[in-house]
Amino acid sequence: MALRKDIQTVMETQGARMTYHIANCLRSDFGKVLEGSYNGTLDTSTVRRELERMEKDGLVHRIPSSCSRQICWQKGGKA
């Protein structure tokens, strides 16, 4: 649950971002305002799986990206 809340915190301040960017924020100094401590212990795939669960719950949705293999996420349900 802490990971979900921390992802929401990053998305509130950063806006729409790619999966890898959200993971990098969680692992960086951004962590000073987060509940969890992810320095070196958080894989991008873990963040992607949590974002997919959040998408099912209607908390985030995918938006078009200029990179064909990158997923860009935006806070909120499908528009």
CA 75 – CA 4 distance, rounded (Å) = 12
| Residue in this structure with the two tokens 């929401």, named with its chain if needed | 8
How high is the pLDDT of residue 75?
A: 93
Cα–Cα distance between 39 and 30 in angstroms, integer?
Answer: 10
Does the pLDDT value for residue 79 go beyond 60?
Answer: no
Strands (E), 1-79: 17-18, 60-63, 72-75
What does the pLDDT read at residue 38? 72
The top-level CATH class assigned to 2-75 is mainly alpha
Q: What pTM did the predictor assign?
A: 0.85
- pLDDT, one tens digit per residue, over 7-60 is 998 899 888 999 999 998 888 866 566 667 776 678 899 999 999 999 999 999
Cα 24 to Cα 39: distance, rounded to the nearest angstrom: 10
Per-domain residue ranges of the chain: 2-75
